Amino acid sequence: MAEKYIALPTGVSERDFDAAISEFRAALGDENVYTEADRLAAYGKIMLPVPDAEHAPSAAISPTSVEQVQRCVAICNTYRVPVWPISTGKNLGYGSAAPGNRGQVVMDLRRMNRILEVDADLCTALVEPGVTYQQLYDYIAQRKLPLWLSCPAPSAIAGPLGNTVDRGVGYTPYGEHFLFSCGMEVVMPTGEVLRTGMGSLPNSNTWQVFKWGFGPYLDGIFTQSNFGIVTKLGLWLMPAPPAFKSFVIRYDDEADIVAAVETLRPLRMANIIPNAVVISHALWECGTVAKRADYFTGPGSISDAAVARMARDRNVGIWNLYAGLYGSPEQIEVNWKIIQGAVKASGRGEILTAEQLDRDPVFKYRSDLMQGKMNVKEFGLYNWRGGGGSCWFAPVSQARGVEAKKQLAMAKTILDRHGIDYVAEFIVGWRDMHHIIDVLFDRTDAAQTKAANECFTELLREFAAEGYGVYRANTAFQEEVANLYGDVKRDVNQKIKRALDPNGIIAPGKSGIWV
């Protein structure tokens, strides 16, 4: 192994890498190309249950403009050097800022952080990769624009572009983020700049308002993929509603997940409840603030009795369904009556409103998220077990009570086998649910790390055997996940990759796609 670099890209000689690095320096300036171990530490930090070495970068480069990105891409083509683009690089539990494979050069786009446009009439924005949710929130607040964002939970430091291209979700009516994106600019592996949708039409002013453009709709192929480097993203913002009412339905029995989902689905599908609802398990609610050792010191995963005790202490349900109503007070009133009627008819659960939970920090946190107000509280989950290990397992489920129940039972059985706690929530789309499970473990403990790795593998395989797949995968398991989706899907992805990126320079291996 070369001493000069902490890693080298696969198949690239040290001589060629030296040449590439000096060309990156000429293009970006010495100070924007890092190869020293200490400067690279932040780009090699992972939370996944695999050795750091598997995701060690060879270098990091930090362009500030589209032209610089193009120049980097040209250098990569000359020397066959692979780059792994990141936007804000806060993809914690999915790979963080580290490359998907050892030796790849991280292309850090954080310094491209201009908010290019916010249109308060059409409620659209156009942003660069480095723009954070907090930055966009502050921009809107400072100008007193009547616009709301949708952001993922720990989002202040993450950004809309990275989150959307990885198909992340939030908690408002615009919570399915890719669905509410409109128009991309992409530096292709050849260095050409593509604008999707209406963006390719000279003088068009409809890039951020009409998604489809003409001919094949391309935006999708730039999400969870490695077909280009996205340098601009259009997104729709929500007009601030005149009124907002948030509430929680608490369920005290784990089996009530069936009633919760069955009560919710018709309301969600009819848009009576318009937002991406969360049904959060007690351990998720308490895990951000409670200490595991205060409730459970035994071997294996935490007992149901300990979780119930914690839920009582913290005044949360075993399941907590958070939803919001948006619109005029009159509209809200009508929908509120329908919801109350539906919950009463189900015979399960207790509805509590913002007025009743005035000072409850857990409720406020959820209520804020449903209004696109961000914080980083979810990171508190990392203290539950401590030791910096996190790996999201996020299978998709039909929005059906029996399906939720089945996934819950499967997940708990598998986690239990490995002594890992069930820390989870369901995020409800229109017909689907993302069952989000944080596989938390102490990464400083070799036995726990091994258990987490085996656990994750079993979760993937056993869920797949029942026809369940994940909506997003961390970089340690992307290959395995890609295999689950079958040969034809892999083959088609590869054909596109070969056509667009014959030298395989952009994020090889992302979502299991190679040249």
The contact set with ligand ADP (CB under 6 A) reads 85-91, 95, 109, 129, 158-159, 161-163, 165-166, 229-230, 507, 510
Q: Which is nearer to ligand ADP, 225 or 371 (CB)?
A: 225
Task: Measure the CA–CA gap between 300 and 416, rounded to whole angstroms.
Answer: 7
Q: How far is the CB of 225 from ligand ADP (least distance, A)?
A: 8
By Cβ distance, which residue is nearest to ligand ADP?
162
Task: Measure the CA–CA gap between 126 and 134, rounded to whole angstroms.
Answer: 15
Closest by Cα among 276, 216, 258, 186 to 408: 258
Pair of tokens at residue 50: 């695999």
326 is catalytic: no
Give the pairing type, strands 277-281 and 33-34.
unpaired
Q: Report DSSP state, residue 174.
A: T
471 is catalytic: yes
Q: Which is nearer to ligand ADP, 292 or 510 (CB)?
A: 510
Q: Which is nearer to ligand ADP, 10 or 331 (CB)?
A: 10
Q: How far is the CB of 9 from ligand ADP (least distance, A)?
A: 16
Q: Which of 5, 34, 382, 471 is catalytic?
A: 471
Q: How far is the CB of 484 from ligand ADP (least distance, A)?
A: 19
Q: Which of 94, 322, 382, 468 is catalytic?
A: 94
Q: How far is the CB of 91 from ligand ADP (least distance, A)?
A: 3
Please calculate the CA angle 181-187-190 and round it to the nearest 5 degrees: 145
The residues, ordered by sequence, that sit 6+ positions from 199 with a Cβ below 8 Å of its Cβ are 183, 184, 185, 207, 213
Question: Which helix (H) or strand (E) covers residue 280, if one does?
Answer: strand 277-281
**Helix, strand, coil percentages, rounded to 5, for the chain:** 40, 20, 40
Q: Which is nearer to ligand ADP, 109 or 149 (CB)?
A: 109
Task: Measure the CA–CA gap between 323 and 265, rounded to whole angstroms.
Answer: 12
Q: How far is the CB of 169 from ligand ADP (least distance, A)?
A: 12
Pair of tokens at residue 103: 């030796």
Task: Measure the CA–CA gap between 308 and 135, rounded to whole angstroms.
Answer: 39
322 is catalytic: no
Question: Which amino acid is it at 41?
Answer: A
Task: Measure the CA–CA gap between 420 and 416, rounded to whole angstroms.
Answer: 6
Q: Which is nearer to ligand ADP, 233 or 310 (CB)?
A: 233
Q: How far is the CB of 166 from ligand ADP (least distance, A)?
A: 4
Task: Measure the CA–CA gap between 84 and 74, rounded to whole angstroms.
Answer: 15
Q: How far is the CB of 37 from ligand ADP (least distance, A)?
A: 21
Which spans in 29-181 are helix H?
37-40, 66-79, 133-142, 160-165
Task: Measure the CA–CA gap between 50 and 43, rounded to whole angstroms.
Answer: 15
CB 169 within 8 A of CB 175: yes
Closest by Cα among 488, 485, 490 to 509: 490
Q: Which of 71, 102, 366, 472 is catalytic?
A: 472
Q: Which is nearer to ligand ADP, 60 or 109 (CB)?
A: 109
Q: Which is nearer to ligand ADP, 87 or 335 (CB)?
A: 87
Q: Which residues are catalytic?
A: 94, 471-472
